[in-house]
């Protein structure tokens, strides 16, 4: 496996609330022989500002991201929405060589593992019934899985990484690519609708006997976990990096 110099980008909410996901991402990449560095001056990718209609105010944040990550072979993040934002929304910057490189080399963790490292079997054990939540940016933005409304061959990069884990059972859901209702600032401005959508997603997993809900975006899982805790349910949530970094066989 070729060794790359990787800049690890950890999203704000993972840094603040779920540091174990950032640690799992780092450990997994290092297990795969990659040279990983965490630029200490990194901040947000700017997505929350842009999503709130303040993209001009986010420009300085965009430029800071480019300064911090322009010298790496790849930028890898455990967040589909952040990866998508850098690749698609940094078009508002002057397209210097550095900006172009950062946009082209920013990858969500699962697509980096499957598309760049071409990993199929991580030799892990995870004996649980798992439901895969396809977050919107990852699904229709990064194409991490096939969308149900399209007539195309079914695929899922998350499932590809999970399905060879010893003891795992990946559960088929009734609606396998429906939004959880988080949507960043959508959950702030439309809290009732957001919560109802989240409850619907959890019910789908429960009906089908899921023990652990996983996804490539901790923001979606954070939303679902809040509802699960309030309703005192037994179902768990785990970012896919935590599962893929499980004990080796």
d(CA 82, CA 93): 17
Distances (CA, A) of 170 to 21, 135, 138, 184: 21, 17, 19, 27
In a domain, 124, yes or no: no
In a domain, 123, yes or no: no
Residues 105 and 179 placed together within one structural domain of the fold: no
In a domain, 148, yes or no: yes
**pLDDT, tens digit, for every residue of 36-91?**
999 999 999 999 999 889 999 999 999 999 999 999 999 999 999 999 999 999 99
169-170: strand order across its sheet: 169-170, 129-132, 212-215, 236-239
Q: How many domains does the chain have?
A: 2
Q: Considering only CA atoms, which of 230, 232, 238 is closest in space to residue 212?
A: 238
In a domain, 122, yes or no: no
106-108: strand order across its sheet: 35-37, 5-8, 74-77, 106-108
d(CA 142, CA 162): 18
- What pLDDT is attached to residue 120? 85
Q: Which domain holds residue 175?
A: 129-244
Domain limit, last residue, from 88, 116, 144: 116
Residues 90 and 138 placed together within one structural domain of the fold: no
Q: Are 84 and 143 in contact (CB under 8 A)?
A: no
In a domain, 212, yes or no: yes
- What pLDDT is attached to residue 248? 63
CATH of the domain at 210: 3.40.50
Distances (CA, A) of 192 to 3, 188, 195, 200, 201: 47, 9, 5, 12, 15
Residues 104 and 207 placed together within one structural domain of the fold: no
Residues 137 and 225 placed together within one structural domain of the fold: yes
- pLDDT(101) > 90: yes
Residues 181 and 155 placed together within one structural domain of the fold: yes
Residues 149 and 190 placed together within one structural domain of the fold: yes
Residues 28 and 84 placed together within one structural domain of the fold: yes
- What pLDDT is attached to residue 249? 54
d(CA 80, CA 70): 19
148 or 202, which is more confident?
A: 202
Residues 195 and 110 placed together within one structural domain of the fold: no
């Amino acid at each position: 496996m070729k060794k790359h110099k990787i800049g690890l980008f950890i999203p704000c909410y993972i840094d603040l609330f779920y540091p174990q996901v950032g640690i799992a991402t780092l450990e997994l990449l290092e297990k795969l022989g990659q040279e990983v560095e965490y630029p200490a001056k990194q901040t947000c990718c700017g997505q929350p500002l842009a999503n709130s209609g303040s993209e001009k105010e986010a420009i300085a944040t965009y430029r800071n991201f480019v300064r911090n990550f322009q010298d790496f072979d790849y930028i890898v993040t455990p967040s589909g929405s952040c990866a998508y934002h850098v690749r698609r929304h940094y078009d508002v910057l002057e397209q210097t060589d550095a900006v172009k490189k950062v946009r082209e080399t920013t990858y969500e963790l699962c697509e980096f593992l499957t598309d760049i490292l071409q990993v199929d079997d991580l030799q892990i054990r995870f004996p649980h019934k798992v439901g895969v939540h396809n977050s919107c940016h990852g699904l229709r933005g990064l194409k991490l899985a096939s969308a149900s409304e399209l007539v195309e061959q079914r695929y899922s990069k998350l499932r590809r990484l999970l399905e060879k884990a010893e003891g795992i059972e990946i559960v088929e859901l009734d609606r396998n690519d429906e939004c959880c209702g988080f949507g960043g600032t959508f959950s702030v401005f439309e809290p009732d609708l957001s919560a109802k959508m989240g409850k619907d997603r959890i019910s789908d997993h429960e009906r089908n006997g899921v023990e652990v809900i996983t996804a490539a975006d901790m923001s979606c899982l954070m939303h679902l976990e809040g509802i699960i805790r309030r309703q005192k349910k037994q179902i768990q949530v785990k970012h896919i990096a935590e599962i893929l970094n499980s004990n080796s066989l």
